[in-house]
Structure 1
Amino acid sequence: MKNDKIRVGIIGANTTNWASKSHIPALKLIPEFELTAVGTTKLSSAKEAAEKFGIKYAFDNAFDLVSCPDVDLVVIAVKVPHHYKLVKAATEAGKMIYCEWPLGNGTKEAEDLTEMAEAKGLRTFTGLQALSLPETLYLKKVIADGLIGDVLSSGIIGSGGMWADIRSEENLYLIDPANGATMLEVPFAHTLAAYLHIIGKYKTISATFARRRKEVTLLTTGEKVPQLSNDQVVVSGILEGGAVSNIHYRSGMSAGTNFLWEINGTKGDILITGDLGHYQLTPVNIQYAASGNKLQQMEIPTEFLAAGIQTPGQPVRGLYFAYKAVLADIRNNTRHVPDFKDGVAMHKLLDNIRISADEGKTIAL
């Protein structure tokens, strides 16, 4: 497969959902990938998607898609509770797998899926796409190069957007922790993955959760429904290099700040801002100031950006750079994109955050 196209089948893409607005446009921009199959729970919607996006095969049975000989890489882009059975099916079919984050509905599922894939020697990718963003790679480099000296502290305040009201019945599953897709697992974890990649891992953590909104409004009907998940998440800690860290996520949107990340060092400061706390899919602005100076715009150098094409906007942008990194890993037999083992590590970190919040104690990692 060194020079051949990588044939992709997507489970969970119709003509209007997340996969159709992000995964498919991103893959279409990379000629080394060929979209060959799409699968949904209804053959009619699968055929509509196949026709709209020029895809050869349409399936209403995921097991038929993963068994298709013209599929090399299976993309799982469905709700979290369905990840396990679909990833397992793709594993049994011996395919490479890209599964959106969270990998499983909890750590046990993620561990089982990882064990199955490793037993077959399969290439796996966990959809923590923020790690492949040019902003993430550039920030990691300049901080490692000492632009702001030693990192003293770092903090984020972010708005989850959801979890204050619900746009449609399809999104109701987000407010029930049993489904594994709360504010902690989605915007917080996506952002945390990049945060730790850039400035280093935790040495200790101390977490506080609160469920301040007991019910939310279903916007399509005006109905009030129970809000069962924590809508305030605060994680403080010390990083391995000694820096003090604090991250606070809250549900809904603020009239003021919705994403603000400061990294303070002995020689200067970096400020990252955006309109939503989903760093993985929200455009951000980066500024820098040497100590004693005013903030200035920090542009991403061209070598970190896409060559030969106009960089797509979000939410396509995040998946575009993720799939470019997946392509490089497959072609070069490297491992820069998070795999299933990395997904398990993130699940375990979230477990420790939950324990800290539940038991009111600081945890050494």
Structure 2
Amino acid sequence: MKNEKVRVGIIGANSTNWASRAHIPALQLLPEFELTAVSTTKMTSAQQAAEKFGVRHAFDNENDLVSCQDVDLVVIAVKVPFHFKLVKAAIDAGKMIYCEWPLGNGTKQAQELAELAAVKGIRTFTGLQALSLPETIYLKKAIGEGLIGEILSSSIIGSAGGWAAAKTPEDLYLLDPANGATMLDIPFAHTLAAFVDILGNFKSINSTLARRREEVTLLTTGEKFPLLTNDQIILSGILESGTVGNIHYRSGMSAGTNFLWEINGTKGDIVITGEVGHYQLSPVKLHYAASGKKLEPMEVPAEFLTQRAAVPAQPVHGMYYAYKAVWADLVNSTQFVPDFKDGVQMHKLLDNIVKSSQEGKNIIF
């Protein structure tokens, strides 16, 4: 693709949800993309979104959107249980696809979608946007070039924010693992994707998953609902490089540390901090210290940042860089944005984390 606009159709683009708060504002900042179509389950909400964002086509079903001649890239931005049906419709239509993470409701669905897309030769993108963040790309380069020497260990502690209370009735679907949107699937997996991208894959893992809260409160009504999924995750292991890795995520928020990522090397340390354990969509600060020195702020060099005067804060920030990376892959025929095959690999890693906890054993890859 050379010097053409990518025409985007978003499934799940009403005027108030995640697509309208992150995807659409990001796309509006990128002249390489044009939002041409939106669909929801009701024509009234689709038309409202189309009017609000100046979009030509509004549909009340996915089939009309994926078959629209003015759509090149179909974006799936709905709840996880609907991903399989909607992605498959886009594959059947032969369109490029960007699907929010998780790719499927479980590995089986993700694998089938990846295979179907591969058979048709369709270009796919999985929404693990943490890999496209300037912070991730810079850290990977700096560490790879030996800024802090050989990496000895790396540890993360994070608070997931959710899974302790539900802000709205829509959030209740996060409480049931059958919906594929657990704490393990969302904040933990997004951060884990950046962890292995920067530091390398695990050679062995040992994990502990636990459910410490029995129920959560719906904040709008005060009602109590059962929490059916784990709200404590501990992953420890050895990376292929020999680096020791440890990640602990917990539900809710802490009065102390809510996101701290330390990378310790033979020549120094890097520390990443944030307000919540959603590395993919929450602002972070970087610090660096050579061995024996004090930590100092670590700025991301201009070469890793956009040339725009300003990019809005998260969550638009993350999606902006994700779409920039998609465009670069399309123009340069590269593959830096995770595709469906990469999505399957992340699903399999999560499966092994669950297996390790259930069987109480170390898993060697």
Same fold (TM over 0.5): yes
Deviation at 1:307, TM superposition (A): 1.1
Deviations 1:88-145 (A, max 9, x none): 0000000000000000000000000001000000000000000000000000011001
Other-structure match for 1:20: 20
Other-structure match for 2:193: 193
Deviation at 1:311, TM superposition (A): 2.3
Preserved contact between residue 305 and residue 311 of structure 1 (Cα < 8 Å): no
AA aligned to 1:256 is G
Distance 1:171 1:32 in 2: 34
Other-structure match for 2:97: 97
Deviation at 1:310, TM superposition (A): 1.1
Is residue 2:285 matched to residue 1:285? yes
1:204-353 correspondence runs (5 A): 204-353=204-353
Say which SS state the counterpart of residue 98 (structure 2) adopts: strand
Say which SS state the counterpart of residue 172 (structure 1) adopts: helix
Distance 2:156 2:19 in 1: 28
TM-score (norm. length: structure 1): 0.99
Say which SS state the counterpart of residue 20 (structure 1) adopts: helix
AA aligned to 1:126 is T
Other-structure match for 1:142: 142
Other-structure match for 2:3: 3
Other-structure match for 1:107: 107
Deviations 1:231-272 (A, max 9, x none): 000000001111111000000000110000000000100000
Other-structure match for 1:168: 168
Deviation at 1:309, TM superposition (A): 3.4
Distance 2:272 2:127 in 1: 22
Say which SS state the counterpart of residue 34 (structure 2) adopts: strand
Say which SS state the counterpart of residue 279 (structure 2) adopts: coil
Deviation at 1:3, TM superposition (A): 1.8
AA aligned to 1:45 is S
Distance 1:135 1:31 in 2: 23
Deviations 1:199-242 (A, max 9, x none): 11101000001100000001111001000000000000001111
Deviation at 1:2, TM superposition (A): 1.7
Distance 2:311 2:36 in 1: 24
Distance 1:303 1:215 in 2: 47
Distance 2:101 2:50 in 1: 25
Distance 2:288 2:32 in 1: 36
Deviations 1:138-188 (A, max 9, x none): 000110010100000000000000000001111111010000000000000
Distance 2:199 2:115 in 1: 29
Deviations 1:15-70 (A, max 9, x none): 11111000000011100100000000111000000000000000001110000000
TM-score (norm. length: structure 2): 0.99
Other-structure match for 1:62: 62
Say which SS state the counterpart of residue 22 (structure 1) adopts: helix
What's the Cα RMSD here?
0.6
AA aligned to 1:333 is S
Other-structure match for 2:40: 40
AA aligned to 1:197 is D
Say which SS state the counterpart of residue 260 (structure 1) adopts: strand
AA aligned to 1:145 is E
AA aligned to 2:205 is I
Other-structure match for 1:360: 360
Where has structure 1 moved over 3 Å in runs of 4 or more? Answer: none
Distance 1:353 1:177 in 2: 15
Gaps of 5+ in 1: none
Q: Identity over the aligned pairs, expressed in percent?
A: 72
Aligned length: 365
Distance 1:7 1:270 in 2: 40
